Structure 1
Amino acid sequence: MPDNPAFSCCNNADCYPTEIKSVDGKIYAKRREDGKYILIPPQKIERNRDNPDGRNHLCAPPPGFAKNPVDTVYCFALGGAT
């Protein structure tokens, strides 16, 4: 995780390419399970590694995942085409 490098944020279960939108300078990413655009906290944006496929990727648990608060984001990689 960008804000906690001792922990990984990615695995095949919770990371996926996604669409984004920008509202008032804030980034929102579309969650695959319900199509909701969730706010990406700035500290969750990966800035130290390149994104190999050039697409936006969201790493987040599904909605209602008991261990996490609502709309949790583990990390986010901004694609090169945005």
Structure 2
Amino acid sequence: MDRKRVIGIALNVVIALLAGTTINARDLGQWDDPANADLKKWYRELKQPDNPAVSCCGEADAYWADAFEATTDGQYIAIITDPRDDEPLGRRHRDIGTRIVVPKNKIKWNEGNPVGHGIIFLNRADSVFCYLPPLGI
């Protein structure tokens, strides 16, 4: 078999494995209070704009990002403004003022937001699942 064909087969296997991988939101029980039922449902139903079958993940992956920058070359940068304690949310600490470049395909413009903050959903390596800009943008 030639090298290009082997590489092509290997890439197809990797793509198939990644397509079958699910991303689970981390629900740590922080929304078990019946008064938070609607908010819990909203987090669970929020889907990635570029992959509507996949969750944005949950509160344990969410950081308030009420500030942003738009660069002259069209990049969108979310700035973390979240002062909440990370431990009860089970999330990795990120300092206020941390800037995260948001890929355009991860920005959700079409979603209501009951939280009242811009929200960025990040994995442990700072890859963006979703970004909901602050209201009024």
TM above 0.5, yes or no, is yes
Deviation at 1:42, TM superposition (A): 0.8
Give the match for residue 100 of structure 2. Answer: 38
TM-score, reference length from structure 1: 0.73
Unaligned runs of 5+ in 1: 66-70
Deviation at 1:36, TM superposition (A): 3.0
Q: 1:12 aligns with which of 32, 40, 59?
A: 59
Aligned length: 75
What do the CA deviations read for 1:19-66 (whole angstroms, capped 9, x no partner)?
32221132101356144312111110112212223321100023xx4x
Query: Are the counterparts in 2 of residues 27 and 39 from structure 1 also a CA contact under 8 Å?
Result: yes
TM-score, reference length from structure 2: 0.47
What CA RMSD, in Å, does the superposition of the two structures yield over aligned residues?
2.0
Structure with more contact order per residue of length (Cα contacts < 8 Å, sep ≥ 6): 1
Regions of 4+ moved over 3 Å: none
Q: Which amino acid aligns with 1:46?
A: K
Percent of counterpart pairs with the same letter? Answer: 35
Q: Which amino acid aligns with 2:76?
A: I
- Flag the structure with higher helix content: 2
